[in-house]
């Protein structure tokens, strides 16, 4: 039970917007498709919910091939980035509209009950009598989400639903959406360029770039085992540093040479190293100013920038001609130009194949 996307491709004027995308989503999962602008997220959602047809490939809902089934006949609801509200209707009428046009006839009482239920969930019961222009952007988007929920669609698609909201509203709705959507069951498919949306809400994530699904899996798994540096970067706050690392094998093991001053023993994975050079990823918070355990490897660096962010400090340091970002979980003042000894957690390195861009 759930949604299966099988080898879906779609081109616009000869250019691939989606290329051979396959993914299998089970009931109860909250899936976030992440990727930069133009990656193909919207195209994938439109095809999954039936607004658009793929050039090739199939879509299955609960084991049934629905590729040729019109969107109106599918158990779906979609929330868009732009607030879609009918300006001449009150929020009540906006939220009720999918029920009124549904093939299933809803009684007046049933419509009222459903509209009130979803308005309560989104906290907009008191303003149902207002017109869209009379309420704030956040309230409009809440109404758009409530509208998607009234129909009891089994599959809900949200395309950057928080994109047009300010920071504070985004934070607030993000927390609420997770609860509301998880409680509904079914499947939630959510597209966003914001990793934080995925990290705070999703059970599963897919990373899309250039129309291809680079990696898909449980959030924890993708976070822990990014296969590509782009994925690692996306799933790191504030970033993942990427440095070239040369493998030096010797009789009893191997070392990864990141610079003259920075060598990491990688003997425990020596037999898995089939490249001479890797792109080595290290998350900003896996570098520290103190040696927290025996696998922390020291190196020298010069402070280029120091930013105190409440209880954290973000440092940009220069090492071997490259800038590294370091997130210290402490409030610490550093002078620009100051020499510092830092410690890299060698148990938290990611080795990326150097040619992964040519997927």
Closest approach, Cβ 42 to ligand ADP, in A, equals 3
Closest CB to ligand ADP among residues 12, 331: 12
CA angle, 50 then 55 then 60, to 5°? 45
Closest CB to ligand ADP among residues 191, 254: 191
Q: Which of Mg ion, ligand ADP, none has residue 39 at its interface (CB below 5 to 8 Å by kind)?
A: ligand ADP
CA dihedral 111, 114, 117, 120 (to 10 degrees): -50
For the beta carbon of residue 15, count every other beta carbon within 10 angstroms.
7
Give CA–CA dist 272/39, Å, rounded. 32
39 and 210 Cβ atoms separated by less than 8 Å: yes
Please state the φ and ψ torsions of residue 186, each to the nearest 5 degrees: 60, -150
Q: How far is the CB of 250 from ligand ADP (least distance, A)?
A: 46
Decide whether 28 or 193 has the Cβ nearer to ligand ADP: 193
Partner touching 161 among ligand ADP, Mg ion, none, CB below 5 to 8 Å by kind: none
The contact set with Mg ion (CB under 5 A) reads 41-42
251 binding partner (options ligand ADP, Mg ion, none; Cβ < 5 to 8 Å by kind): none
Nearer to Mg ion, 51 or 303 (CB): 51
Q: Which does 17 bind (CB under 5 to 8 A by kind): ligand ADP, Mg ion, none?
A: ligand ADP
Nearer to Mg ion, 197 or 345 (CB): 197
Between residues 42 and 139, which has the closer beta carbon with respect to ligand ADP? 42
d(Cα 101, Cα 179) in Å, to the nearest integer? 28
> Which of ligand ADP, Mg ion, none lies near 12, with the C-beta cut-off 5 to 8 A by kind?
ligand ADP
Tell me which of ligand ADP, Mg ion, none is bound by residue 35, counting a contact when its beta carbon lies within the kind-specific cut-off of 5 to 8 angstroms: ligand ADP
Q: What are phi and psi of 352, to 5 degrees?
A: -110, 140
Handedness of CA 249, 250, 251, 255 (dihedral sign): negative
> 108: buried, middle or exposed (CB in 10 Å: 19+, 13-18, 0-12)?
exposed
Q: Could you list the residues that contact ligand ADP (CB under 6 A)?
A: 12, 17, 35, 37-43
Residue 39 or 198 having the CB closest to ligand ADP: 39
**CB-wise, 121 or 156, nearer to ligand ADP?**
156
| Residue 354: closest CA among 274, 257, 278, 280 | 278
> In angstroms, what is the minimal distance from the CB of 213 to ligand ADP?
12
Least distance in Å: CB of 337 to Mg ion?
43
Query: Measuring CA to CA, how many Å separate 71 from each of 42, 74, 77, 141?
Result: 15, 5, 9, 22
Q: Which residue is nearest to Mg ion (CB)?
A: 42
Query: CB of 18: closest distance to ligand ADP in angstroms?
Result: 8
Q: How far is the CB of 157 from ligand ADP (least distance, A)?
A: 12
Q: How far is CA 22 from CA 27, 58, 71, 142, in A?
A: 17, 9, 20, 31
Choose among Mg ion, ligand ADP, none what residue 40 binds, the Cβ cut-off being 5 to 8 Å by kind.
ligand ADP
Asked whether the beta carbons of 99 and 70 are under 8 A apart, the reply is: no
What minimum distance in Å lies between the beta carbon of 9 and Mg ion? 18
Q: Least distance to ligand ADP from the beta carbon of 241, Å?
A: 26
43 makes contact, choosing from Mg ion, ligand ADP, none, with CB < 5 to 8 Å by partner type, with ligand ADP
């Amino acid at each position: 039970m759930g949604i299966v996307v099988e080898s879906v491709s779609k081109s616009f004027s000869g250019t691939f917007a989606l290329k051979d995308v396959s993914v299998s989503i089970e009931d109860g999962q909250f899936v976030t498709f992440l990727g930069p602008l133009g990656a193909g997220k919207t195209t994938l959602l439109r095809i999954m919910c039936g607004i658009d047809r793929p050039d090739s490939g199939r879509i299955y809902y609960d084991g049934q091939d629905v590729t040729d089934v019109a969107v109106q006949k599918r158990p779906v609801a979609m929330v868009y980035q732009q607030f879609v509200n009918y300006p001449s209707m009150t929020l009540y009428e906006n939220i009720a509209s999918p029920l009124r046009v549904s093939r299933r006839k809803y009684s007046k009482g049933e419509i009222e009950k459903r509209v009130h239920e979803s308005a309560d969930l989104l906290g907009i019961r008191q303003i149902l009598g207002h017109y869209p222009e009379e309420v704030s952007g956040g309230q409009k988007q809440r109404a758009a989400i409530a509208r998607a929920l009234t129909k009891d669609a089994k599959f809900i698609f949200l395309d950057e639903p928080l994109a047009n909201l300010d920071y504070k509203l985004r934070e607030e709705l993000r927390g609420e959406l997770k609860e509301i959507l998880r409680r509904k069951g079914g499947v939630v498919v959510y597209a966003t360029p914001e990793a934080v949306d995925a990290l705070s809400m999703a059970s599963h994530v897919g990373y899309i770039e250039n129309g291809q699904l680079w990696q898909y899996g449980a959030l924890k798994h993708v976070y822990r085992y990014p296969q590509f540096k782009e994925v690692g970067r996306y799933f790191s706050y504030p970033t993942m540093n990427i440095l070239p690392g040369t493998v030096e094998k010797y009789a009893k093991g191997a070392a990864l040479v990141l610079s003259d001053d920075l060598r990491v023993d990688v003997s425990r994975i020596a037999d898995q190293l089939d490249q001479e050079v890797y792109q080595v990823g290290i998350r900003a918070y896996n570098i520290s100013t103190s040696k927290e355990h025996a696998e922390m490897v020291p190196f020298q660096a010069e402070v280029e920038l120091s930013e105190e962010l409440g209880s954290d400090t973000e440092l940009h340091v220069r090492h071997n001609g490259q800038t590294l970002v370091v997130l210290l979980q402490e409030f610490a003042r550093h002078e620009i130009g100051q020499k510092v000894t830092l410690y890299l957690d060698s148990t938290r390195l990611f080795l990326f194949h150097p040619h992964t861009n040519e997927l």
